[in-house]
Homo-oligomer: A and B are copies of this chain.
Amino acid sequence: MKYSVGHTGRVILLRLDEGEDVLESLESLASKEHIESGIFFVIGSLKEGSLVSGAKTDEPPVIPFWQRIRKNHEILGIGNIFQTEGKPKIHLHAAAARGDKVRLGCLREKSKVFLVEEIIIFELLGMEAIREKDQRTGLFLLKIH
């Protein structure tokens, strides 16, 4: 267990529209508004996306299960923003449903909003943390000083 104590800063309400890319839009906004650390919440719909939903074995190397989203899904997600090499990096876990089929995982690569995505970001101040590439797993892990 490692932890860092900080406090809330600005809150940003963000609306993404049809066809926009979720991770790219969040990174671009975080850069523009100089958000170093943050947590955000997503509700909306997605018509394209890729979720990593676990690793095939409990030992490295991490070989992911992929779930591909095609056609519109309702989503609910929780993510965070920390810096990697001076640039904001997004980590977002989302659940997605279409009819009675539900998926859940870590959103990666390209995605496309369906209709609208409503995102609320809480900026966090005073956090002594960055995201750094871990040699053993190849993942960008949170490093708390």
Contact = CB atoms under 8 A, between A and B. Distances in A.
Interface of A: 1-17, 20, 25, 28-29, 33, 37, 39, 41-43, 45, 47, 51-55, 58, 62, 65, 67, 71-80, 91-100, 102-106, 114-116, 118, 120, 122, 124, 127, 129, 137, 139, 141-142, 144
A51 B43 CA distance: 14
B20 A11 contact: no
A106 B9 CA distance: 29
B54 A97 contact: yes
Contact of A74 (B4, B28, B54, B75): B54
Determine how many copies of this chain the complex contains. 3
Contacts of A37: 13
Q: Is the interface of A mostly helix, strand, loop or mixed?
A: strand
B114 A93 contact: no
Which of A11, A95, A144 has the largest count of B CB atoms less than 10 A from its CB?
A: A11
Nearest to A114: B58
B20 A1 contact: yes
Which of A53, A104, A144 has the largest count of B CB atoms less than 10 A from its CB?
A: A104
Question: 4 closest A-B pairs (Cβ-Cβ)?
Answer: A97-B104, A54-B98, A43-B93, A76-B93
